[in-house]
Structure 1
Amino acid sequence: MSGLVRDMMELWTAPNISDLFPILSGLGLQGLRKKADECVKKMCGIWDSTIKERRERRGGDHQSNHRDFLDALLDSGFSDEQISLIFVELFAAVSDSTTSTVEWALAELLKNPEAMNKIREELAQQVSEDFVTEENLANLPYLYACVKETLRLHPPAPLLLPHRAIEDCEVMKYTIPKDSQVFVNVWAIARDPTICEKPLSFKPERFLNSSLDYKGYDFQYLPFGSGRKICAGMPMAITQVHLGLASLIHHFEWSLPDTMKPQELDMNEKFGVTLLKLQPLVVIPKARK
């Protein structure tokens, strides 16, 4: 599944000559759209039978007290094709981005021991059970601040999916012709010193008393995009990242291999479908008592 999602996303984001010369769009010279459609078809084939089976079962006498997201979509009148494409959007949105964000967050916390200690103290005060649950997340403001700061420095999609200008317009003295595709560089926005104080520093405290959130209303902070093209998997991704990171810190002590110091940790980036670490994070876990 993950390999299929990555292939599909790479095809969607690959430079397409048809984007530069719209007159050639109908020819499909590179075959990118055809290949991407084939990937989508393969993904849909994974759960198409489940959707059909659930619809047929609901149409019979069988009634179940267990309801899930698929039941909600069926109740809302979505067709099988629409439901299948919604699942494609959700899986594509939270695939690499979730794991890469947790990796970046853990790397930043290892480089900043004070922030790591603050999260540990917060978890010790708020989590009384053996496992971190979704109910605990609402009481972990510093964890939220650390994730927000991670997404500011390392947005999963440094260039948001292209928007198309519906009419001629002018932005900051630049003329944008109608039907132009516009990419928003959220990576550069977040590192602009006129927008953010000490933009290259990892400072979660900047979000503790801030109204900035993930919903895309504030254009200086757009880790998930904005408007109608905002990431469809945002709610799922946010929960997974917070829960995963909190669990890793709550249950394990993390250290760097050999005699490596936190300052020596390689934080260079590799541009791709998602913003990955150039050198994958290598750490040593030790179970906490």
Structure 2
Amino acid sequence: MASLLSSSSASPSPSHLKVLFTALAFVLSLLALLVFNKNKNKNTKKKKAALNLPPGPPGWPIVGNLFQVALSGKLFIHLARDLFKEYGPIFTLRMGARTLIVIGTAELAHEALIEKGQLFASRPAENPTRTIFSCDKFTVNSAVYGPEWRSLRRNMVSGMLSAARLREFRPLRSAAMDRFIDRLRAEAEASDGAIWVLSNARFAVFCILLAMTFGLHLDEDDIVRIDAAMKKVLMTLNPRIDDYLPFLGFLYYKQRRHALQVRKEQIETILPLIEKRKAILKDPTIDPSAAPFSYLDSLLDLKVEGRSAAAPSNEELVTLCSEFINGGTDTTATAIEWAIARLIEDPSRQARIHGEIIAECGDRPVDERDTEKMVYLQAFVKELLRKHPPTYFSLTHAAIQPAKLGGYDIPTNANLEIFLPTISEDPRFWSNPTGFNPDRFLTGGENADMTGVTGIRMIPFGAGRRICPGLGMGTTHITLLVARAVQAFEWRAHPSQTTLDFGDNVEFTVVMRRHLLAMVKPRK
């Protein structure tokens, strides 16, 4: 469940430019009102001027840098690199009503997440339209720092993501891996060996997380239907202009109405699964194939600090279950697409991983206990997450009170955005940092601690108090999917993609600019 790029840090998409220009005319008409508010705002302006914010590009009245970012013609993940070059390792963007503080070095990340971890452990305020999907920030990822968040996180970690709990789901993962290989084989047979990697990887991971969440055995039609509903939620959470300029919310009344409808569909899709699981817990004979434990089981009687409610409501259960599924699906699937591309790029990587599998397993299907002993495979996955973290920004942090970072003032509730590639590609810590070289972790002695505990060098799952709780599960799923894919097939370039494009794009996670269509040859 690697950390996901929050909507607050993503730049407005090109599809919003027409609305932007309409909004600009409206905004300019409001400038006249500033004359009347001059005296009223005088003290506020003096207070803001006294802040020693990090440097950044000058902005326009009211909208700040919002239009500059939107009209740059670049994805924000690319624009950020340019801004680091111009303003240094920490810079400020005023995005309408939001202030973004963006950092991109190991030292600043360590100061924020480790040295001052408690101070920067909260989340900023959100557009109220967004919080309908989080039940007013009642999730592990979105909750403000405090007792409610501690209760939710503690339950997820100890009740679901501990090493002991993850081991209990080995049979489930094994069955999902078999289904994954069967789907790949069927698609290859139907299309002369061609396979779309991302969609198949996504389906495999979704199956695993769905089963872990509800403990139910579902047929493929049900899985596809549930997946479609979950995708609608993610699409609805794409950033909008009123996230940055709340007073323009009236322009988005149709979108708000659509969001309410998507939320209704989400509840209607997930709630029957919750009710079915509740019935099975009361009478296991209803479905003998049901798993003995699920994430939902840990939530049904959850006591949350600071809340008078005895247990989460049905809507809150829908939200928490959806968070568990969505948090780990696209992030893991994205990693698999990048992994297969890197295996195709250099066939010797495939050969080394396949050699480890043969030595360890022979003809037996590889499982996660086997992968723990495969040194090169483990190094390959570490390099994969260093070079291709599923998101380039960790989830947005916010200070719980006015704070200092890198010698600058950080206002309460400002968005603190941590850019990961400039950390994991820092030439001070990595040799040939932009190259892909798993051997660096075998012979180079380079640090691969992904938790930040021994020092921040690469943090694809974040670090500190709000490190992604799914780190262990995510790496397990990535490693096992890669191993099973290599064991079953020899992967090579499709004739239409003989030159692989390692450019990136943002589709909720950071994906390949051109989705990978690969050719496979069954090994047996």
- Aligned-residue offset at 1:113: 2.9
Distance 2:497 2:388 in 1: 23
Matched AA of 1:243:
L
Aligned residue in 1 for 2:207: none
Q: 1:14 aligns with which of 239, 242, 249?
A: 239
Moved more, 168-177 or 92-101: 168-177
Report the CA distance shift for 1:59/1:288 in structure 2 as closer, same or farther (over 3 A).
Answer: closer
Aligned residue in 1 for 2:517: 282
8 Å CA contact 1:166–1:179 kept in 2: the answer is yes
- Aligned-residue offset at 1:87: 1.5
Q: 2:424 aligns with which of 187, 190, 215?
A: 190
- Aligned-residue offset at 1:175: 2.5
* 1:50 partnered with 2:273: yes
Q: In structure 1, list runs of 5 or more residues that go unmatched.
A: none
- Aligned-residue offset at 1:59: 4.5
Distance 1:236 1:156 in 2: 14
- Aligned-residue offset at 1:91: 1.4
Matched AA of 1:277:
M
Report the CA distance shift for 1:7/1:165 in structure 2 as closer, same or farther (over 3 A).
Answer: farther
Aligned residue in 1 for 2:381: 147
- Aligned-residue offset at 1:239: 2.4
8 Å CA contact 1:2–1:95 kept in 2: the answer is no
* 1:271 partnered with 2:497: no
Moved more, 274-283 or 189-198: 189-198
* 1:67 partnered with 2:292: yes
CA RMSD of aligned residues (A): 3.2
Question: If the length of structure 1 is used for normalisation, what is the TM-score?
Answer: 0.82
* 1:90 partnered with 2:324: yes
8 Å CA contact 2:403–2:410 kept in 1: the answer is yes
Sequence identity percentage:
27
Distance 1:230 1:210 in 2: 22
Aligned residue in 2 for 1:206: 440
Distance 1:146 1:126 in 2: 17
CA offset digits 1:15-73 (Å, max 9, x no partner): 5544x46xx48967646777556545433432312323433454569797951213344
Matched AA of 2:448:
L
Q: SS in structure 2 opposite 1:183? A: strand
Q: SS in structure 2 opposite 1:48? A: helix
Q: SS in structure 2 opposite 1:219? A: coil
- Aligned-residue offset at 1:254: 1.4
8 Å CA contact 1:151–1:223 kept in 2: the answer is yes
Higher relative CO (Cα under 8 Å, sequence separation at least 6) belongs to 2
Q: 1:231 aligns with which of 468, 475, 479?
A: 468
Distance 2:231 2:521 in 1: 32
Distance 2:284 2:367 in 1: 36
Question: If the length of structure 2 is used for normalisation, what is the TM-score?
Answer: 0.48
Distance 1:17 1:143 in 2: 45
Distance 2:521 2:252 in 1: 49
Aligned residue in 2 for 1:164: 398
- Aligned-residue offset at 1:125: 0.9
